[in-house]
Amino acid sequence: MSETTKIIVVTTPGIPGKNVVRTLGLVRGNTIRARHVGKDIMAGLRNLVGGEVTEYAKLLAESREQALDRMVDQAEELGANAIIGLQFQTSVIMGGAAEMMAYGTAVVVE
């Protein structure tokens, strides 16, 4: 995403105070990440004593950001200035690897 362009991204079907003047279509971004054996060991130990598994929380946060960035890039290519209806979805690809997908509708708002 360029530094001068700001795309509004919302989970709602509209943006208060803005009118959708053109719908450009579905945009999406995804990433597939694999776990790291060292982090698995730490997460396993943390699972024994309880508490937040920060190793996986960080991995998921990075995955969400990368998927979101890729979706925004696709919207910019279409000429959008907003994305409405943002959703995230995850799925297991294989043991130890998962996909994070962000998707929404690219629109032009005024």
Tens-place pLDDT, residues 43-76: 566 566 667 777 778 888 999 999 999 999 999 9
Query: What pTM, to 2 d.p., does this model score?
Result: 0.82
Taking residues 80-107, report their average pLDDT. Answer: 93
Structural domains in the chain plus CATH codes: 8-109 (3.30.110.70)
pLDDT of the residue at 54:
77
Task: Give 63: exposed, middle or buried? Use CB within 10 Å, 0-12, 13-18, 19+.
Answer: buried
Beta-carbon contacts of residue 71 (< 8 Å; ≥ 6 apart): 27, 28, 29, 83, 86, 102, 103, 104
Q: Is pLDDT above 70 for 14? A: yes
Pairwise CA distance, residues 88 & 28, whole Å: 10
Q: Would you place residue 1 in the very low, low, confident or very high pLDDT band (cuts 50, 70, 90)?
A: very low
